Structure 1
Amino acid sequence: MDYFEDLSVGETDQFGSYEVTREEITTFAGTYDPQPFHTDPAAAEDSMFGGLVASGWHTAAMTMRLLVDHQLSASGAMGALGVDSLRWPTPVYPGDTLSVGTEIVEKEAWDDDRGRVATEVTTTTQADETVLSMVGQVLWRRR
């Protein structure tokens, strides 16, 4: 298990391979973000996206899944304080395959038991297009 003391500013990681499906896009959007360009392929054709696209919130959720699977599940991460600078510069389309890159940009002791770690997170497609960027603020267990 990685603890706060094991992490270094400047440390990077790259991981993931998550294929996005049309069904997943419409199911997520139908429940959480039911705008036509997320739920209705015909209506999406006439939108500024030219086709069905994932909700930005869905993109964030898929990113979180990759973070948990590849970094957080076996770590000293205790939960997030929030995210800064969340952006969705390019939409996610059905058939895109997502991967995540991270870089630790800041860390500080929070109290005797925890430290705060700021990590830049960038989610990209198979074409290396950025579809999400954010800075996660996560508390980590100290030794």
Structure 2
Amino acid sequence: MKFHDFNVGLKMQAQPFEVTRDEILSYVQSYDPIHVHHDDEYARSTIYQDLIASGIHMVALILREGIKLFQLERDCFGGSELSKVQWVAPVYAGSILTPSFRIAEMQDRGDANYGIVTVQFTAYNQEHHLVVIGKVNLLIRKEIHGSQKSN
């Protein structure tokens, strides 16, 4: 989708996906050394009583699903801001997450070859409990018409 294909208020829901133990352990081995993410014995002694997924990892997986849902693999230049992220409930191995997305704002960048689309995202688990919510600003390619130059 290009910038002008979006409308404020547009809502879409991605397909549910499973968060596996192997995914959790693979991610935290490289990026998040907190023991509650990789040490079973330690995790059982915490308020979670089991290993939990890294919150940043979950945001990355949710945004991946949004990129695929909106078919932005080639039309998204990246993000300019991630904000208001709240980890409402832990995500455990075997959790099934269903991400949803709503277009909250759009900023046309004038002559630039992109606009900024603010997307609010949520994810619920298989028990219909909210697990994460947040906002991301994405730089989305505009459709270039005629001799309009690309910046």
Report the TM-score when normalising by structure 1.
0.91
The equivalent residue for 1:128 is 128
Between 1:70-79 and 1:47-56, the stretch displaced more is 70-79
Partner of residue 100, structure 2? 101
Gaps of 5+ in 1: none
Instruction: Report what 1:119 is aligned to.
Output: 119
Amino acid at match of 2:16: S
Choose 11-20 or 73-82, whichever is displaced more: 73-82
Give the aligned partner of residue 46 of structure 1: 45
Q: Report % sequence identity.
A: 29
Q: Is the CA contact (8 Å cut-off) linking 2:13 and 2:100 kept in structure 1?
A: yes
- 1:8-30 Cα offsets, whole Å, 9 max, x none, are 11100001221111122122112
Q: Distance in 2 between matches of 1:75 and 1:7?
A: 15
Letter in 2 for 1:93: Y
SS of residue paired to 2:79 = strand
Runs of 4+ in 1 over 4 A off after TM superposition: none
SS of equivalent to 1:16: coil
> Which residue is 1:28 aligned to?
27
Corresponding residue of 1:12: 11
Larger Rg: 2
CA distance in 1, matches of 2:31, 2:44: 21
The DSSP-based 3-state class of the residue aligned with 2:58 is helix
The TM-score normalised by the length of structure 2 is 0.86
Number of aligned residue pairs: 142
Matched residue type, 2:98: S
Match of 1:141 in 2: 141
Change (3 A) 1:109 1:62: same
